Every structure is written in structure tokens, then in C-alpha cells.
């Protein structure tokens, strides 16, 4: 590799390294979206009818929560990669659905939670 090509490569590598005045990187500073976050999103449905369930409370293993909308959709963002445990949804009529989560990878995980009445 020529010296010019090596310098160009070095310059490209260094240009990707940026930091803020407070010492944080641009991806972790206040107001920035964290790189590598996980999220769980999906639909809550009635196990018998497969109809979407509005107003279900969905709780992630770390305690983060969301409520399903009129289409049964929910999204819990800002979860740590590697988080595992049980995702629990509780419907307004007392139905409950549970999904075991393997360690989360960065990015979104799409699920369907089936609520069953006790």
C-alpha cells in the first residue's frame, strides 16, 4: 500500500471519531438517540378471536411499560441489549399474555402477544 493510500485511510478512520465538548460522543450526548438500543414492539390480540386489544398494559422485564393503541399496537424503546426475561401484557378485561424474551439484540424485536382470560 502506498504512503498516500495509507494516509487517506488513516484520515478516513479519524474522521469517524468525533466527540463533544463535554467529552461524550455525539451518539450518547443529551438528546441523541443511543446507538445499539433495543426495542420490543408488536400487537396485542385476543387469543380466541385474534382481534386487536386496545388499552393493554405491556411491561418489559426491566419494568418499562407501554399501552396498546386502538389497533393493539405498542412499542417499548430504549431497552438495553442483552435484556432477557418475560414480557407481560394485561388486558382491560383481565386477560394476560406472556412472552419469554431471549437476550435482546440491538434494534427492534416484533412480537404478537396473545391474551387469555383466567
Which sequence spans correspond to the domains of the chain? 1-35, 37-118
Q: Is the pLDDT at 6 greater than 80, yes or no?
A: no
**pLDDT above 90 as % of the chain:** 69
Q: Say which residue, 13 or 82, is predicted with more confidence.
A: 82
Domain 37-118 in CATH: superfamily? Answer: Carboxypeptidase-like, regulatory domain (2.60.40.1120)
Q: How far apart are CA 92 and CA 79, in angstroms?
A: 25
Global pTM?
A: 0.70
pLDDT at 15: 39
> Which tens digit of pLDDT belongs to each residue from 21-79?
333 333 333 333 456 899 999 999 999 999 999 999 999 999 999 999 999 999 999 99
Q: How far apart are CA 106 and CA 36, in angstroms?
A: 5
Amino acid at each position: 500500500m502506498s504512503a498516500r493510500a495509507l494516509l487517506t485511510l488513516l484520515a478516513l478512520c479519524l474522521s469517524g471519531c468525533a466527540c463533544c465538548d463535554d467529552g461524550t460522543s455525539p451518539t450518547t450526548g443529551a438528546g441523541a438517540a443511543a446507538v445499539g438500543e433495543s426495542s420490543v414492539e408488536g400487537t396485542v390480540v385476543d387469543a380466541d378471536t385474534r382481534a386487536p386489544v386496545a388499552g393493554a398494559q405491556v411491561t418489559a422485564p426491566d419494568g418499562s411499560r407501554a399501552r396498546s393503541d386502538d389497533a393493539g399496537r405498542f412499542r417499548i424503546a430504549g431497552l438495553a441489549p442483552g435484556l432477557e426475561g418475560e414480557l407481560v401484557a394485561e388486558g382491560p378485561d383481565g386477560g394476560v399474555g406472556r412472552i419469554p424474551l431471549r437476550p435482546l439484540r440491538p434494534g427492534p424485536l416484533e412480537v404478537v402477544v396473545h391474551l387469555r382470560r383466567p
